[in-house]
Amino acid sequence: MLPTSRLTTHSLVFFMLKKIFLGIDTGGTFTDFVVLSNEGVKIHKVLSTPDDPTRAILQGIADLELTQQMKNGVLSVIHGSTVATNAALEGKGVSTVYITNRGMGDILTIARQTRTELYNLMPEPGKPPVPRSHVIETGGRLDSSGNVIEPLTDQDLDEIRQSLRRIKPHSVAINLLFSFLDDSFEKQIEQSLEARFFVSRSSQILPEYKEYERGIATWLNAWLGPIISDYLSSLLAAIKPSSLAIMQSSGRTMAANQAAEKAVNLLLSGPAAGLAGAKYMGSINNQHRLISFDMGGTSTDVALIDHQIRLTSEGFIGPYPVAIPMADMHTIGSGGGSLAYLDEGQLLQVGPQSAGADPGPACYGLGGMLPTVTDANVVLGRLRPDAFLGGRMHLDLSAARAAVGKLAAQMHLSIEETAAGIVQLANEKMIQALRVISIQRGFDPKQFQLVCFGGAGGLHFCALADALEIREALVPLFGGVLSAFGMLVAPPGRQLSRTYNCLLENVKEDQLDRLFDAMLEQGRGELLYEGIAPSELLEERSVDLRYEGQSYTLNLPWTDPATTIPAFHKTHETRYGHALELAVELVNLRISLSATGAEIELPVLEYRGEAVPKSSQFLYGFESPVSIYAREEFGHGAMIKGPALITETVATTLIYPGWTATVDQVGNLLLVRES
């Protein structure tokens, strides 16, 4: 555990707060904290404790001297966690029974019949999500119009109960055909079960067509639900009587007691908060078209923000599709803790394996022996051993050189050449990820500003921007803990959907209004339960559309058919390069409901004159000396020309030659590349 330290503090201008707000982002390597109170903002980091994330949280609260406030109930915690993500990726869900209609028991195993190895004629079959012994087939079948084909009988319900007594699962997932049209059979099954089971209904989790995706979402929720419920119950007990809200994958928050029932909504909890923080920081300088680059210790997340955080219902967690609306981002296993090694062909590889928090990179001095991206940056002088985490954690340069040196000997290169190769390979992976969410989706990255954050992001962003010909970049204030900060500015909200399939030109708008209003009532009820006033709620209606005969959809704001149809043609051409003379089909209705966020206004920094470097040093790969600055000494308007290395408590920023950084009114670094 890191020693207690001087904590970075910034003042804020806001209404007098009755509570202290604490954003906590639990990552694979570090747990980040941002505190908002009448005294300003404090930021802090501790090493994560993957075996029990609550320990790192309580350690951070103690370091921040908030234990008494927590016990007094004045602490309001907003939390993003990797607990659900890690459990899904590691296959550590609970014993779950899957209930479906007769003849449909193999749906989750058959999936979409896609192969992970395209040219392997005899691929190894994947492990089925639910073993056949845990699948129960029953009645209660509807057709595509909602008519009953096979009723659900008392005998069916009795057989379900008998099977559950024999299997003895922890949870139950119920997914009947066309339950999004009529959920009465699913409700009837749920009501017949014993209260000891954690139950998920598809008509509640994802009332949309596509029985496989709906089934996976329902099963994931049931499979992970008890784990999340136990974790949140433990955390609530540890911080009581203070309150707890959870960040959802959509970039909105949810009260913990409701989040425990919606585990599948939390799979991108922490990364989504980073987008909320990036959006907020970009808006300070009226920059609303952003490409975010969040590089942490274990992975890197990239996303595109075009005025709003873009959502997708086609995300994945490991091998499983997640049709629940989540932030549209691309994640790769390349972070500061990613391990560098030679593969069987003696080619250098970086990630996806990570050193994690324990033992961590070799330079942490906690027993790690294998080289990582962080070790490479230490060897290259880009991470200052005496300035890491504000000097609280001294990096071991000798250990970093020894770890990289073993790899260098195998490659017959110098230690510095090997370290540079590790960084370059990590950069190439991240450049490809940025292309996926921009160029491959019809967006020109040159029209966006690159926003980098995460503890390791500032060391790599100039190389990425140069490769994509992006001329403007932003290194935000609190960049090393921006996900935790984003939890403080993200509003409470809900994303609701349901399938309604017809040609858009034939749609009955009054019927759509009734369906939208029903979803709105459900979302409003959940948010009002959290204590949010009706006057604070904002509503956005949208629709999923496709050409008749297509399988995939595009989401557009809903106004009316006359406006939405031409908008769809234009959007389709932007995304795919062409539009078709075909009828446009409505597939799903969606409502985004959120509360108005709290007005947080960062104060203007005073002018302190030109930035003065603390020192300069020749670094490997640079032709001229690199000036070294302390970010906390910058004032409004200061300019820094590259090459420069800027240290701060929770991050380090490397500015390449040809780039100039200007400190904006609140302390963000605005970077422009020379033509």
Cβ of 610: how many Cβ atoms within 10 Å?
10
Element (H, E) at 555: strand 554-557
SS3 state of residue 539: strand
179 vs 195: CA distance, rounded Å: 22
- Over range 429-440, report the average pLDDT: 92
Choose among 667, 487, 594: nearest CA to 79.
Answer: 487
From 38-47, 335-344, 666-675, the region with the lowest mean pLDDT: 38-47
User: For residue 427, is pLDDT > 70?
Assistant: yes
Confidence of residue 597 (pLDDT cuts 50, 70, 90): low
Q: Is the pLDDT of residue 601 over 80?
A: no
16 pLDDT higher than 80: no
Confidence check: pLDDT of 143 > 90: yes
| Predicted pLDDT at 2 | 39
pLDDT tens per residue across span 278-299: 999 999 999 999 999 988 877 7
According to the model, what pLDDT value does residue 388 have? 73
Q: Where are the alpha helices (DSSP H) in 240-341?
A: 256-259, 269-284
Kindly tell me if the per-residue pLDDT of 638 is higher than 90: yes
Q: Report the pLDDT value the prediction gives residue 260, as an integer from 0 to 100.
A: 85
More confident: 481 or 298: 481
- pLDDT recorded at residue 342: 93
The least confident of 144-153, 200-209, 333-342, 381-390 is 381-390
505-549: pLDDT as tens digits = 999 889 899 999 999 999 999 999 888 888 889 999 999 999 999
Predicted pLDDT at 3: 35
pLDDT at residue 172, as a whole number: 98
Q: Where are the domains of the chain?
A: 8-88+229-266, 91-224, 493-595, 615-673
pLDDT at 104: 96
What is the pLDDT at residue 629? 95
Of 86-95, 173-182, 389-398, 603-612, the range with the lowest mean pLDDT is 389-398
354 sits in which H/E element: strand 348-354
The three-class DSSP label of residue 647 is strand
Residues 657-667 have pLDDT tens digits of: 999 999 999 99
Given a cut of 70, whether residue 10 has pLDDT beyond it is: no
Q: How confident is the model at residue 13 (pLDDT cuts 50, 70, 90)?
A: very low
Res 120: pLDDT: 85
DSSP state of 631: G
In this structure, of 28-37, 152-161, 283-292, 490-499, the range with the lowest mean pLDDT score is: 28-37
**For residue 669, what pLDDT is reported?**
96
Determine the pLDDT at residue 1. Answer: 35
Instruction: Choose the CATH number for 91-224 among 2.60.40, 1.10.3470, 1.10.260, 3.40.50.
Output: 3.40.50
Distances in Å between the alpha carbon of 1 and those of 8, 399, 477, 656? 18, 19, 25, 34
Q: Which helix (H) or strand (E) holds 94?
A: none
String of b and e for 299-319 (b: at least 16 CB within 10 Å)? bbbbbbbeeebbbbbebebee
Q: What is the pLDDT of residue 8?
A: 43
Least-confidence region, from 105-114, 144-153, 191-200, 581-590: 105-114
**Mean residue pLDDT across the chain:** 90
Whether 225 shows a pLDDT value over 50: the answer reads: yes
- Say if residues 172 and 97 touch (Cβ distance below 8 Å): yes
Mean pLDDT in residue range 70-94: 89
What are residue 664's phi and psi, to 5 degrees?
-80, -175
The reported pTM is 0.86
How many CB atoms sit inside 10 A of residue 132's CB? Answer: 10
* Identical topology for domains 8-88+229-266 and 91-224: no
For residue 339, what pLDDT is reported? 92
pLDDT at position 518 is 93
The pLDDT, as a whole number, for residue 385 is: 85
Return the CATH fold of 8-88+229-266: Nucleotidyltransferase; domain 5 (3.30.420)
CA distance 301 to 320: 18
Digit-coded pLDDT (tens) for 350-385 = 988 888 777 889 999 888 899 999 999 999 999 888
More confident residue, 125 or 239: 239
Inform me whether the pLDDT recorded for 465 exceeds 80.
yes
At residue 15 the predicted structure's pLDDT band, cuts being 50, 70 and 90, is very low
pLDDT > 70 in the chain, percent: 96
The one-letter amino acid code at 70 reads M
- Assess whether the previous peptide bond of 352 is cis (omega < 30° from 0): yes
pLDDT digits (tens, 9 = 90+) for 93-118: 999 999 999 999 999 999 988 777 78
Q: Among 111-125, 246-260, 280-294, 553-567, whose mean pLDDT is lowest? A: 111-125
